[in-house]
Amino acid sequence: MKLSVCIIARDCENTILDCLNSIKPYAKELVIVIDTRTKDNTWNEVDAFGCNNYGGATITDRAKLEYNFSGKLKIYFYKWLNDSFADARNFAISKCTGDWILQIDSDEVLVSFDKPDNECDYCESTLLQTEHQQYPTYRMFKNNIGIKYTNATHETIEASCLNLKKDINGTIIKNNKQSTPEQDLEKVKWLLERQLKELETEPENESLNYRIAGYYRTLGDIKNARDYALLSLSDIINDECKALSCLALYACYKALNKDYFAKKYLQMSLGFCEDSRLGNLALYEETKNESIKEKLLTINSKLPNDLSQAQVIEILNNYQHEEIQI
């Protein structure tokens, strides 16, 4: 199997080498798309990595838009258009010649690689966002079968995978972000502004209200966060997103000191969620019963994929709601 690995890079001189070194043992082809707005030494770090590992011509002129290191490392300087991450990722895909493609961000590292099942078309892998948070992610897929990214921000391949066969894969990617809290806040502000504009032109996009609510929560605007979370519940989104919207409403009403509404939305989230880990953590904060807390901690020590809604229901059935006090 020939694996092509794609990276979109901008101002990532502190993380790009960790990323490249983590994927080098598995990648037969590296495709790096460098945003021409980059102001730091990202391209020099990539250049040095290419020379040290693959030989070939060094990058001497950024005006030349393409560099090739022995066919194993391809570097493209890409002019950012329409603020669209999907367009940039699709450009990278177009340059891949491998049988399979793995997309990874410049501030992430590959912790482990599990060879995909060739009878399948794309893989569900694991993203370690923080020490205590991990999520399913769709980063690895067959080349040349029409899989493309959609959405300008929070880009995803899911729309083009609806009728394709999925492999539950053991590949693990870890966030290696080294940005400051101030930089993170500026990114959230930019994303909020971008998604509010998207909502004007794509009101049918069912994920936007949900994401906008999250950005407002991060920025401390609780009332706007509540309003957009309520709107997201009326969208045709999947049960996992509905559960997360309910948890966002739980947090908003807690911040507004409206405990009755907070607890109602916590209960609703447990009803929607296929994987109730976050709901359980919130329930842990609410309950006053120490024996229930102990059981919840035991369940939450498991990986999210091991934690089913049935386990939550079993715990709730073992105790009266009056005891749990929600």
Averaged pLDDT for residues 141-157:
92
Q: At which residue do the structure tokens 């901690």 appear?
A: 297
From CA 204, how far away is CA 91, in angstroms rounded? 26
Using DSSP's 3-state secondary structure scheme, residue 223 falls into: helix
From CA 325, how far away is CA 20, in angstroms rounded? 50
12 CB burial (10 A radius; 0-12, 13-18, 19+): buried
pLDDT, position 241? 74
Residue 115: pLDDT band by 50, 70, 90 thresholds?
very high
pLDDT, position 95? 95
Averaged pLDDT for residues 174-182:
88
Averaged pLDDT for residues 128-145:
86
Residue 273: pLDDT band by 50, 70, 90 thresholds?
low
On average, the pLDDT of the chain sits at 81
pLDDT, position 204? 81
From CA 73, how far away is CA 11, in angstroms rounded? 19
Residues written for the chain: 326
Q: Taking a C-beta distance cutoff of 8 angstroms, is the pair 309, 242 a contact?
A: no
Q: Which stretch of 55-69, 246-260, 271-285 has the lowest confidence by average pLDDT?
A: 271-285
pLDDT, position 226? 92
Q: Which stretch of 110-124, 154-168, 241-255, 281-295 has the lowest confidence by average pLDDT?
A: 281-295
323 pLDDT above the threshold of 80: no
pLDDT in tens, 216-258: 988 999 999 999 989 888 876 677 777 778 878 888 888 899 9
Q: State which of 100-109, 259-268, 301-310 shows the largest mean pLDDT.
A: 100-109
46 pLDDT above the threshold of 50: yes
As given in the structure block, the two tokens for residue 245 are: 């919207």
Residue 3: pLDDT band by 50, 70, 90 thresholds?
very high
302 pLDDT above the threshold of 70: no
Structural domains for the chain: 3-175 (3.90.550.10), 179-260 (1.25.40.10), 274-326 (no CATH)
Total-model pTM: 0.74
Averaged pLDDT for residues 89-96:
96
Strands in 134-142's sheet, in edge-to-edge order, are: 66-69, 73-78, 29-35, 3-9, 100-103, 134-142, 122-128, 166-175, 108-112
pLDDT, position 20? 95
Residue closest to 48 by CA, chosen among 25, 22, 75? 75
Using DSSP's 3-state secondary structure scheme, residue 80 falls into: coil
Do the strands 29-35 and 3-9 form a parallel or antiparallel pair, or are they unpaired? parallel
Averaged pLDDT for residues 147-172:
90
More confident residue, 108 or 292: 108
pLDDT, position 280? 53
Averaged pLDDT for residues 299-325:
42
pLDDT, position 68? 73
pLDDT in tens, 10-34: 999 999 999 999 999 999 999 999 9
Residue closest to 149 by CA, chosen among 195, 76, 85, 237? 85
Whole-number percent of the chain with pLDDT over 90? 38
Averaged pLDDT for residues 44-55:
84
7 pLDDT above the threshold of 60: yes
36 pLDDT above the threshold of 50: yes
pLDDT, position 196? 93
pLDDT, position 82? 77
